[in-house]
């Protein structure tokens, strides 16, 4: 990539900048707490049976995995009446996700609570999340920390990650960046992408660990390769700045493109500059640059210099770019 073009993209294409790395350092709000389904509570609930070891011939779990949620609920309630902890968790998951029944966080919290009392680890994590967020139960970060600690003590990586977040912010636990880093690193080593992303940020900023650019690049690379979109954007920026791993240089534009397509305005604006100037194997195309600039602008990114360049396009090309940008936004709405 031409150095002059690269410098231009880094300076004026920044837009939102490297905002993601500030999450872990407390300069932005914490990410959502990781959930047993492998995502965050805001994501679509998994349709895979959520709890720990289960027999292959267990009818409740088979019904759940087949999408027969009312059957699964009935069978799980029968097993729960016999004191089965995983059955309690399965009932809670059905109510939390609104799977075949009305979504009911209060009922879900009650079932998770009983499952946690009976020793089910995924239930401890799920109940911790509900307490941390105040969903279906009174918000209580200290109580959430207690459940995270119990689950973390068994080696659960998501519980370790969430516990690390509480230590990082001093919310529910005394602020302790060193403890936070240890828990987050444990989760990162267990391949939790969000933990890898946050650990990279800790190494970038020297929070809870010694600042180490190579460690930061390595962990950001791992998170990006797992498809974590904010990590792909941050790592693309790191690669453009020469702060990434040499072996990953060919991934710069694909990561930036992926982040732009997934709706990160800063990535969209940088991609606009790449099309405007022609870089990274992409041919100069001001019309495509205009499309991405319109998209990034709608996302809140200010860039007067690029706006002036877009304004020099013929009116027909500007209208075509505006139409393409609108079509892209409409497509994103259908994918939600």
Domains observed in the chain = 1-16+264-336 (no CATH), 32-210 (1.25.40.10), 212-257 (no CATH)
CA 202 remoteness from chain centre = 17
pLDDT at residue number 58: 85
| C-alpha angle 192-129-62 in degrees, rounded to nearest 5 | 75
CB atoms within 10 A of CB 163: 31
Please say whether the beta carbons of 225 and 250 come within 8 A: no
Q: Which of helix, strand or coil describes residue 279?
A: strand
Please say whether the beta carbons of 259 and 229 come within 8 A: yes
CA 237 remoteness from chain centre = 18
Cα–Cα distance for residue pair 46/306, rounded to 1 Å: 42
Please say whether the beta carbons of 19 and 299 come within 8 A: no
Cα–Cα distance for residue pair 80/115, rounded to 1 Å: 9
* Pick from 134, 192, 133: nearest CA to 159: 192
Please say whether the beta carbons of 41 and 129 come within 8 A: yes
- Mean per-residue pLDDT pooled into runs of 10, the chain (336 residues): 44 37 36 55 36 59 94 95 95 96 97 96 95 95 96 95 95 95 97 96 96 96 96 94 90 94 94 90 93 95 95 95 94 83
pLDDT at residue number 200: 97
């Amino acid at each position: 990539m031409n150095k002059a073009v690269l410098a231009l993209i880094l300076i004026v294409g920044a837009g939102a900048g490297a905002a993601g790395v500030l999450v872990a350092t407390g300069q932005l709000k914490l990410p959502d707490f990781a959930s047993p389904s492998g995502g965050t509570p805001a994501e679509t609930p998994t349709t895979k049976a959520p709890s720990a070891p289960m027999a292959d011939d267990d009818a409740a779990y088979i019904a759940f995995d087949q999408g027969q949620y009312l059957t699964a609920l009935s069978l799980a309630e029968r097993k729960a009446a016999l004191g089965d902890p995983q059955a309690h968790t399965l009932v809670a998951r059905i109510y939390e996700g609104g799977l075949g029944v009305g979504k009911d966080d209060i009922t879900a919290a009650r079932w998770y609570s009983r499952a946690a009392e009976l020793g089910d680890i995924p239930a401890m994590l799920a109940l911790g999340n509900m307490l941390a967020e105040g969903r279906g139960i009174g918000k209580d970060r200290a109580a959430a920390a207690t459940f995270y600690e119990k689950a973390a003590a068994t080696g659960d990586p998501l519980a370790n990650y969430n516990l690390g977040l509480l230590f990082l912010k001093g919310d529910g636990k005394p602020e302790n960046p060193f403890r936070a880093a240890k828990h987050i690193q444990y989760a990162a080593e267990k391949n939790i992408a969000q933990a890898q992303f946050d650990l990279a940020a800790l190494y970038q900023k020297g929070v809870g660990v010694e600042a180490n650019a190579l460690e930061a690049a390595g962990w950001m690379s791992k998170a990006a390769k797992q498809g974590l979109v904010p990590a792909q954007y941050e790592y693309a920026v790191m690669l453009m700045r020469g702060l990434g791993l040499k072996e990953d240089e060919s991934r710069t534009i694909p990561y930036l493109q992926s982040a732009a397509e997934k709706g990160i305005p800063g990535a969209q604006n940088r991609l606009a500059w790449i099309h405007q100037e022609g870089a990274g194997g992409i041919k100069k195309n001001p019309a495509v640059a205009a499309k991405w600039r319109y998209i990034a602008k709608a996302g809140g990114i200010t860039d007067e210099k690029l706006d002036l360049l877009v304004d020099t396009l013929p009116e027909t090309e500007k209208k075509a770019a505006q139409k393409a940008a609108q079509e892209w936004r409409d497509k994103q709405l259908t994918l939600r």
